[in-house]
Amino acid sequence: MRVLIVDDQALVRSGFRMMLSVEDDIEIVADVANGELGLAAAREHSPDVILMDVQMPVMDGIEATRSIVAQDLGRVIILTTFDRDDYLFDALRAGASGFLLKNCEPDQLTEAIRAVAGGHALLAPEVTTRVIAAMTAGGQGAGAGSGGSAGGPGGGATGRATSHVGSADQLDRLTDREREVLALMARGRSNSEIAGELFLGEATIKTHVSNTLAKLHLRDRVQAVVFAYEVGLIRPAENGLPPQD
């Protein structure tokens, strides 16, 4: 997997290089200091995944992401130290396939790169609940959140979907195991965490996730979370959200 790093801090870029250089399946093709250079590097190197900072001089990460996605130059993971809703929803509207905080664990980052390179998308668990809140409230941000978390084919179409309305009888399409996987997915668990909880291989979980999304006609994991909430499979409090009347 060819990875481009875009961040205005040289120390951060070198840190990501060191972190990812130990992975046999990841190659860093370039690292650059702002969005404009990132756009040029994406055109030159055709990376699979771009790790993109938000606040940068010349061109910020949101604008660069919008241009990269529009020109189909690669899939973007937003990496920022700022845990802010406006960054999150702006990134999803721009077409980012993932959103992580820079204090994430190294294995979270490598898992995100692999997921996004495979055509999926990924949200950090700590921001998933805010996407759920925005979508299930039917208010501001609903259009932004509905394309943004890892799961199935078409995950790169982030920010262009609308919220999915689920009905309980749709659960009948799922096997018992797929229901278990859906419930854990909806609580923000990654594939590896689900595999650990259910004592199954990660490849098996990926198959269950893909089958679940296909059977329910859901684009990605964020829609799966909303579906699980709408049909009562999980309650908001289980995801750290306050219970609703």
How far is residue 110's CA from residue 116's CA, in Å, rounded to a whole number? Answer: 10
Q: Give which of 1, 3, 19 is closest to 11, Cα–Cα.
A: 19
Indicate if 20 and 99 belong to the same structural domain.
Answer: yes
Whole-angstrom Cα distance, residue 138 to residue 245?
15
More confident: 194 or 226 = 194
66 and 140 part of one domain: no
Q: Do residue 113 and residue 135 come from a single domain?
A: no
Contact 34, 5 (CB under 8 A): no
Range of the domain at 137: 130-236
Domain contains 136: yes
Phi and psi based region of residue 199 (left: phi greater than 0; alpha: psi -120 to 50; beta: remaining): left
18 and 114 housed in the same domain: yes
Does residue 123 form part of some domain? no
- Say yes or no: 102 and 152 in one domain: no
pLDDT for the residue 130: 64
Last residue of a domain, one of 71, 86, 118: 118
Number of domains composing the chain? 2
- Domain boundary residue, one of 91, 118, 145: 118
Same domain, 114 and 134: no
Q: Tell me: do 136 and 94 sit in the same domain.
A: no
**245 lies in some domain:** no
pTM to 2 decimal places:
0.63
Distance CA 10, CA 30 (A): 12
Specify whether 97 is located in the same domain as 8: yes
Residue 146 DSSP class = T
**Quick check: is 137 in a domain?**
yes
CATH number at residue 223: 3.40.50.2300
Please report the pLDDT score of residue 166 as a whole number: 58
Q: Give the CA angle between residues 44, 33, 105 to the nearest 5°.
A: 100
> 180, exposed or middle or buried, with CB in 10 Å at 0-12, 13-18, 19+?
middle
* Residue 65 in tokens: 């992401």
Condensed to tens digits (0 to 9), the pLDDT of residues 97-140 reads 888 888 888 888 998 899 888 877 677 666 666 665 665 555 43
pLDDT digits (tens, 9 = 90+) for 196-221: 999 999 999 999 999 998 999 876 77
AA letter at 87: Y
Q: How confident is the model at residue 34 (pLDDT cuts 50, 70, 90)?
A: very high
